[in-house]
Chain A
Amino acid sequence: MKNFTYVRANSVQDAISRATSDRQAMFIAGGTNLVDRLKVFLDEPSQLVDVSRIKMKQIERTKAGGLKIGALVTNTALANHLEVRRNYPLLSRAILAGASQQIRNMATVGGNLMQRTRCPYYYDTAFSCNKRQPNTGCPAATGINRTHAILGASESCVAVNPSDMSVAMAVLDAVVEVRGMEGKREIPLIDFHRLPGNTPDRDTNLEPGELITGVILPPLPLAKSGVYLKLRDRASYAFALVSVATALEVVGEKIKTARVALGGVAHKPWRAMEAEEFLMGKAANKSNFERAAAIALKNAKPLAHNGFKVELSKRAIRRALTISARGGGLV
């Protein structure tokens, strides 16, 4: 870790102006991702702007009947919030599926959205990596890529986004609220993260100097049927090989609305819109779930070692939808 100067921002404005005037500055919130990265020289900021003491720790009800979540709400606080547990159980479950209690106690909503990939090639400067240093190559594409992307990858990057929380937020139509010198912007969560294309160094559409101030969840009754299923190599404290968030609104025999998103398979939380559309108006049964899963994965392009993720994703979708059709719960 390179040394840096450390300042404690006392307001949103203070944080933004510091980050704007020093382009080498970085925000730090919970520190669980950034400190880790600093130690292995993935980032070498001149200045750390500690935003953790800014008052963005509230969870409030919005006029529309949804929730507004401050960017500094910890993962633990969000997962345990009564309204979230009641109305967005898949969000609680997704957060609780991530990392460990200690990390969730430290980790914030803003930091979780901004955490970077766990690709082992990115994570060690012994390797070249387009995400770390543009135009140096992607050794993962021809290397060991069991945990890498099967959807939306490019020649320049096959890394996946590791966040569980974001996958749940993707199906909940969450909106990310950000502030910069130019003022406030709202970015739908599914547009917040980017596909790698030939700029894999950029994970998100956040502009330099901009600070995430919160996330807005619209009211979404079908979220009560939400399921978050995470499949991994270890029963806990491991990143997803594949994860799925689903929710269904079934009226009578027919599906009125469906939500499906995948985690661990792409450079961003992967909302499977086409599969959702397919399910609309269909009977909530196994064969339709199977077909929806096939649609969701039809453009999958597996690499040498991660072909299994295609099948595993399909089965996870099938299972999660089945549970959602029963009203949700633990898988």
Chain B
Amino acid sequence: MTEPEKKLSAKQRSRRNFLGQSLSAAGAAIAAPSLLNACQNKSVSASNALVEGETTIELKINGHINKLNIEPRVTLLDALRENLGLTGSKKGCDHGQCGACTVLIDGQRVYSCLTLAVMQEDREITTIEGLAAGDNLHPVQTAFLENDGFQCGYCTPGQICASVALLEEVKNGSVSYVTPDLTNPPSLASLSETEIKERLSGNLCRCSAYNGIVAAVQQAVGQTPPSPAASMENSHAG
């Protein structure tokens, strides 16, 4: 079992305990849903026996080697979500049109829905589950939290992975469509809002947390973002 799966199951267990406790305290009995032992079992297609049409591959994800039997047609995204239980990478469109599935491969951001898992052997794959060091969030994760860079949270893992890569790209002197002089790329300190927005446009957010996301990137590059809060012109504490 991979590391992130352990985390998942711990989380599921804690939910069970919480609800279980609450309801028994309230005197109501509930049939335990099978959600509870969910993560002890792997889903069907990742079983040990090789089925016709499948091949065995190894994927290195967040530092762990995962061996799996899958058909070549399985995308990296589906391998993560359906075979490995790593559901942090999201499927928004399945066609490279939204960015929710963004992961890092050898440090570069890509859409995991547009690549086949078999194509990614011997690469270092990093997903949202692999960004924090234990309980310590990655600075970009913290910045998203503090700048309200999300609402429903569904596009968020993709936005965060994209932002993490963006910082490296800027450090490496990469240009974008809106860079006025292509021979003079921006630095982290001079990275404008226009640059950040263009560079993150491959990550759609229907909740439209765009202002907060841009502010989070500004914080992560060491700039001072505007406050995510509204200005209060009244006496709301009432």
| Chain A residues, Cβ within 8 Å of B53 | 3
| Interface 9-mer from B6-14, B24-32, B197-205 | B197-205
Query: How far in angstroms is the closest Cβ of chain B from A324?
Result: 15
Q: Which of A30, A82, A93, A105 has the most CB of B within 10 A?
A: A105
Contact B177 A93 (CB under 8 A): yes
Report the bound CA distance from A2 to B53 in whole Å: 11
Interface size class on chain A is 35 or more
| Chain B residues, Cβ within 8 Å of A237 | 201-202, 204
Contact A48 B72 (CB under 8 A): yes
- Assess whether B153 is interfacial by the CB under 8 Å rule: no
Pick from B165, B166, B202: contact of A103, CB under 8 Å: B202
| Chain B residues, Cβ within 8 Å of A99 | 96, 202
Contact B180 A330 (CB under 8 A): yes
Pick from B75, B95, B162, B179: contact of A102, CB under 8 Å: B162
| Chain A residues, Cβ within 8 Å of B66 | none
Contact B73 A101 (CB under 8 A): no
Contact B95 A36 (CB under 8 A): yes
- Assess whether A50 is interfacial by the CB under 8 Å rule: yes
Q: Which of B55-85 contact A (CB under 8 A)?
A: 55, 71-73, 75
Query: How far in angstroms is the closest Cβ of chain A from B50?
Result: 14
Contact A106 B114 (CB under 8 A): yes
| Chain B residues, Cβ within 8 Å of A82 | 183
Contact A6 B55 (CB under 8 A): yes
Q: Which of A59-110 contact B (CB under 8 A)?
A: 76, 79-80, 82, 85-86, 89, 92-93, 96-97, 99-103, 105-106
Pick from B119, B183, B199: contact of A28, CB under 8 Å: B119
Interface string of B91-134 (1 = CB under 8 A from A): 00011100100100000111101111011000000000000000
User: Which B residues lie at the A interface, using CB under 8 A?
Assistant: 53, 55, 71-73, 75, 94-96, 99, 102, 108-111, 113-116, 118-119, 162, 165-166, 169, 173-183, 197-199, 201-204
